[in-house]
Structure 1
Amino acid sequence: MFFISIIILIISYSIFKIFLDIHQIKYIRSSQITDEELESINLTQEYVKKSKAYNIEKLNMSVFNTLIKSTMIIIFLSFDGMSILMKITALVNIFSFNIEIVNIILFIIFLTLIDLPISYYKTFVIEKAHGFNRQSKSLFFKDFILSLILSLIIFSILFLSFDALFNSYGNDWWFYIWLVFIAFNISIIYLFPILISPIFNNFQKIDDDNIISGIKDLADKTNFNISDVYVMDGSKRSNHSNAYFTGFYKNKRIVFYDTLLDLLTPNEIRSVLAHEIGHYVKKHITQSMIISLLMSLLFFYLSFQIVSFKELFSELGMNNNSTSNVVILFSLLLPCVLYFITPLFSILSRKNEYEADNYAKLHSDKNDLISSLLKLYKKNLNLVKSSPIYSLIYNSHPTIFERINNLKL
């Protein structure tokens, strides 16, 4: 019964996700945008054609990705995959390390290797075909190895903490694990800008006098330290452009891709900075952290309840007293469960984007923000129109029409 319920959950998730992707593909192909609409946002039918082709390719890749991963999960659960994994663990664990951590490490490597060909195809076929990829194959595999090593180190530390608490605190393990998760999560967010990001990219403080003169008064007016504004060498991997806010407290910073600085005028850069400062002033980062922590509390409590069902683990060939078995099961099922609450996070994200835009409108020229958004959308081949249901579930940002209309109010 438990096994069938899990398989139904995975299949339902896959069908719904694939249905939405196919629905979006059909919408993109059939949607019409008038010349008048395009003229109002300074775009052309040629741009629409390129944007549609790029996004349809990404959606086709998403369908394939969902099919492959869902099939692999069902095969793993249906054919005693955990027992096979444990046997492999016993064979490779020649130095008698903690069997649980070795089991988890092998599982992470397995998942990462599944992702590798998909990521390779996306980078060197789709992104390259549309003029975005600037990454060499050597850099791609270097990133892959570094990401894998970093993931194994971070997750091993976290897992060993979980394992100790799981086996030491009886029925209260879920609460203590949550406390450790809070400390870990806050530490990662705090250290990410200064320890993790620099492993993959170079970050320099903005030293262009034209840009600095344009943003200094904005930084002073909003009490945001101009030394917290950085430029990142995103161009060594991609032609995409972006800016983002990261970290908090003394390690907070706003990061511009170098491709974005090359694209925008000083006044447009000022407007984008005002938008990112808006996220900081409106405490959107803090909001995300609080939601994440509350969600994790609920998750760990539900994990505790589910772990008590020995029959569930028995049907899957797993042991509910094994920390690695518990973590592996939940890592397979959690994306399926979280997917169905994705619309809530998307709605909140779009609300935050409107708030940041409104803040930028107060502290910079709205026309500069509009022109910067148009350049950014055009540079990244963003869709001009998207299916309403697809947008509701996935889109973290309002459409270009929605943002411009809001800015013109």
Structure 2
Amino acid sequence: MHTDTLLVILITIITGQFLFNTLLTYLNNRNRGASLPDSLKDIYEIQEYEKSQAYGKANAKLSMISSSLSFLITFTIIATRMFGSLDLWLGEYTDNPIWHALLFFGILGIASTIIDIPFSYYSTFVIEERYGFNRSTLKTFVTDLIKSLVVGGVIGGILLALIVKSYLVLGSHFFLIAFAIVAGFSLFMLLFYSSIIVPLFNKQTPLEDGELKNKIMGFAGQVDFPIKEIYVIDGSKRSAKANAYFTGLGKMKRIVLYDTLIDQLDSDEILAVLAHEVGHAKKRHVIQSMFLSLTQTFIIFYLLSLALEQPATSYVMGSDKPTFELGLLFFSFVLTPITEITSIVMSIFSRKNEYQADDFAKQHGLKEGLIGGLKKLTKNSLANLTPHPFVVKCSYSHPTLSQRIDHLNQNSAPSGLNSDSE
């Protein structure tokens, strides 16, 4: 394909992605203040609801400014062939293709981080502070930034080096080894993320004996769901927002509760939220999602191997000769329409799974606890109660709160959901 044609395609894709995401943000903002469903009218008092609207608009405005700047910078760099100039300049310092790629993406990563710092700072210390969420200090902010750069640099650097090496050895067939590397890493992180990465940023302590632990362990035994450990993480050191998650597979499952979750919900509500997560595991959603994700990764690497065979992909990025890093960068841009489409499909799949997980909690007598817990979490995070339906279809991995409550209050699951299977 001619270089000029590829350049037009590239610019069209970048512009289209920016306009599409801008449209989604606009639609969500325009839909704020819409009439609340009856099931949600007891969540906020009038002043609290107005506060949630203002919080959402403040975040949307910041997101628009950030994405607009990112678009303008990317557009300018491509138009002025600066990616190619950077690649050529690095070639004066090393002729090792692995180090060349590491330096290239390292510089881009650091530049992206520097551009993002003001927005991240404003989000944390202005918006989150103004609405009562921020509990982070400047020291924690800076420390997190440095740790993230180091951890991301080490892990990303190792993976990139292995992928480049496989490309140098195998040529266009490198995608098989590259996929195996990424798949193995993903499985490793699923098993050990909470025990290796999380402690670098947060303190985790075993949940103390008492009513909550007894209820969780009792429920786990009741549904034959082995749990190795229950930990409490000090999420309150950064934010007042609450969360909880499962990690691990098989007998290595670990529950992690944010201390803010324990503070904001009662034991029955926490149990209901965890029962929902157990429902995902019992209905094999985790395995299904992992399989779909790995399938998508395999296809992406295969398409990348085809793209790297086209010298024009590097020429479009501003180079007079084809290189792995420029081909990969070009591919990451043009992959956007495919990932947008697959993201919509995956979101549909995910929302269906959320209904099934809610059904699981309901079947075990935890409907009221789940509804109560979801309402509290929504209220305490000032979440948007009226997202635009089109935005939900395109980008929401969960149904809206009103949809989940309506579903839980139905006598049976919607058609197509097997609520009895485990």
Q: What TM-score does the superposition give when structure 2 sets the normalisation length?
A: 0.90
- The aligned residue for residue 137 of structure 1 is 138
Task: Say if 1:218 and 1:363, in contact at 8 Å, map to a contact too.
Answer: no
**Which residue in the other structure is 2:36 paired with?**
33
The question of 1:305 aligning with 2:290 is answered no
Assess, with a 3 A threshold, how the Cα gap between structure 1 residues 97 and 384 changes in structure 2: closer, same or farther.
Answer: closer
Deviation above 3 Å: which 4+ runs of structure 1? 36-39, 87-97, 318-321, 330-337
- Which residue number corresponds to residue 24 of structure 1? 28
- 1:350 maps to 351
Which residue of 2 is the match for residue 209 of structure 1? 210
1:33 aligned partner, one-letter code:
L
The count of aligned residue pairs is 406
CA contact (8 A) 1:104 1:328 kept: no
Q: How does 1:100-119 map to 2 (within 5 A)?
A: 100-119=101-120
The 8 Å contact of residues 361 and 367 in structure 2, kept in 1 or not, is answered as yes
RCO greater where, 1 or 2, for CA within 8 Å and sep 6 or more? 2
Quote the offset at 1:335 in angstroms. 4.5
Q: Say which SS state the counterpart of residue 57 (structure 1) adopts.
A: helix
Corresponding residue number in structure 2 for 1:269: 270
In 2, Cα distance between equivalents of 1:94 and 1:402: 57
Whether contact under 8 Å (2:202, 2:235) holds in the other structure is yes
Counterpart contact for 2:98–2:165, Cα < 8 Å: no
- What CA distance in whole angstroms lies between the structure 2 residues aligned with 1:136 and 1:336? 39
Deviates most, 332-341 or 49-58:
332-341
Q: Secondary structure at the match of 2:31?
A: helix
Matched, 1:5 2:6: no
Q: Which has the larger displacement, 157-166 or 335-344?
A: 335-344
Say whether residues 1:15 and 2:19 are aligned partners. yes
Q: Which has the higher helix share?
A: 1
Q: Distance in 2 between matches of 1:96 and 1:331?
A: 19
Q: Secondary structure at the match of 2:132?
A: coil
Per-residue deviation at 1:88?
5.2
Change (3 A) 1:167 1:127: same
Deviation of 1:199 after TM superposition, in Å, equals 0.8
* Aligned-partner residue type, residue 3 of structure 1: L
Deviates more, 1:112-121 or 1:351-360: 112-121
Q: Name the CA distance, whole Å, in 2 between partners of 1:304 and 1:281.
A: 37
SS of equivalent to 1:98: helix
Aligned partner of residue 255 in structure 2, secondary structure: strand
The answer on whether the counterparts of 2:233 and 2:259 sit within 8 Å (CA) in structure 1 is: yes
Shift of 1:14: 0.6
* 1:364-403 matched pairs, under 5 angstroms: 364-403=365-404
Q: Which letter maps to 1:111?
A: S
Within the alignment, does 1:315 sit opposite 2:316 as a pair?
yes
Deviates more, 1:335-344 or 1:369-378: 335-344
Distance in 2 between residues matched to 1:145 and 1:336, nearest whole Å: 33
The offset of 1:157, in angstroms, is: 0.6
- Asked whether the equivalents of residues 55 and 383 of structure 1 are also in contact (C-alpha less than 8 Å), the reply is yes
Is this contact kept in 1: 2:216–2:271, CA < 8 A? yes
**How far, CA to CA, are the matches of 2:87 and 2:46 in structure 1?**
56
* Contact 1:10-1:336 at 8 Å conserved across structures: no
Amino acid of the structure 2 residue aligned with 1:380: S
> What is the correspondence of 1:232-247 to structure 2 with a 5 Å cutoff?
232-247=233-248
356-365 vs 152-161, which moves further: 356-365
Cα distance change, pair 122–336 in 1 and its aligned pair in 2 (3 A): farther
Q: What is the one-letter code of the residue matched to 2:256?
A: V
CA distance in 2, matches of 1:346, 1:370: 22
Mapped to 2, the partners of 1:189 and 1:365 lie a distance apart of 28
Asked if structure 2 preserves the Cα contact closer than 8 Å seen for 1:83 and 1:318, the reply is: yes
Aligned equivalent of 2:415? none
Q: Give secondary structure in 2 for the equivalent of 1:167.
A: helix
C-alpha change, 1:95 and 1:344, in structure 2 (3 Å) is: closer
CA-CA distance at 1:172 after TM superposition: 1.1
Identity, in percent, stands at: 31
CA RMSD of aligned residues (A): 2.3
Give, as a single letter, the amino acid of the residue that structure 2 aligns with 1:4.
V
Q: Structure 1 length normalisation: TM-score?
A: 0.93
State the Cα distance separating 1:10 from its structure 2 match: 0.5
- Structure 2 unaligned spans of 5+: 411-422
| Alpha-carbon separation, structure 2, partners of 1:123 and 1:374 | 24
Aligned to 1:44: 45
Q: Which residue of 1 aligns with 2:184?
A: 183
| TM superposition shift of 1:185 | 1.8
Contact 1:191–1:251 (8 Å) recurs in 2? no
Query: SS where residue 169 of structure 1 aligns?
Result: helix
- Provide the C-alpha distance between the structure 2 equivalents of 1:323 and 1:95, rounded to a whole number of angstroms: 12
CA contact (8 A) 1:360 1:366 kept: yes
